[in-house]
Each structure stands twice: as C-alpha cells, then as structure tokens.
Amino acid sequence: MNSIFESPLRERLQIFLSSSDLYDPEEVLYLIEGSELWLEKAILYRKLGQEALVLQILALINTEENEDEVTENEENSGSASTSASTEESIELSPARARPQTVNRAQTSCTLTGYSVLVS
C-alpha cells in the first residue's frame, strides 16, 4: 500500500494548493509546519512570494532523493557502504523580509539528515 507521500490524494492536494485562492497560505503553513509535506510547503511559500526559500526546500528534497537512489543502488549491487551518515544543519531564511500577518514562533523541521528552520 502506498504511503500518503506517494498517493493520488497528495497529488490532488498539491494541485489544489497551486491553483486555488480559496485559502490562507500562512494558515495552512501553520497547520502543516510539523509535517514532512515539503512539496506542499514549497507551494505555499511560492504563493507567499518567498521563492528563495522554495528553491532551498526543493534542493534539499532533490539531495535526499539522490542519496536514497545511491543507497538503493549500493544495496542492489551488494556492496556495503563504508561512509558514515552525515548530519548537516542548514538554516533557511527568506531572501527578503516580509511583514507577518500572524505572529508565530520559529519552528525547526527535519528532512532526513537536514535541519530546516522555518519562521
């Protein structure tokens, strides 16, 4: 069975978030801030005009997918990986300051091996 991260339901959510103006992007970000719905967060940040943050999130997602592919290929080829898992801490911040309509504390999110600071 597919997880929520690979389901048609999630694809429909992404389409809705991209195409609809019937919701407040800041409110939805607040609701999903503790989740790993990174593509959805990127869509919402794009709606808020924070393109630099969107690119940073997408770069982290791409890096994670590439690491998963390498690990999968190593497992399939039978070779053991000798490199240790590395933890990187990256602080993401918007390219320009935007007035906040809702006061919220900063939230730290984790994307498998990466730390993302979202305000």
pLDDT score recorded for residue 78: 65
11-28 pLDDT tens trace: 999 999 999 999 999 999
Lowest mean pLDDT among 1-10, 36-45, 75-84: 75-84
53-112 pLDDT tens trace: 999 999 988 888 787 777 777 777 765 444 444 444 555 544 444 444 444 444 445 454
The full set of domain ranges for the chain reads: 4-118
pTM: 0.56
Dihedral over alpha carbons 55, 59, 60, 66 (to 10 degrees): 160
Select the more confidently predicted residue: 33 or 106.
33
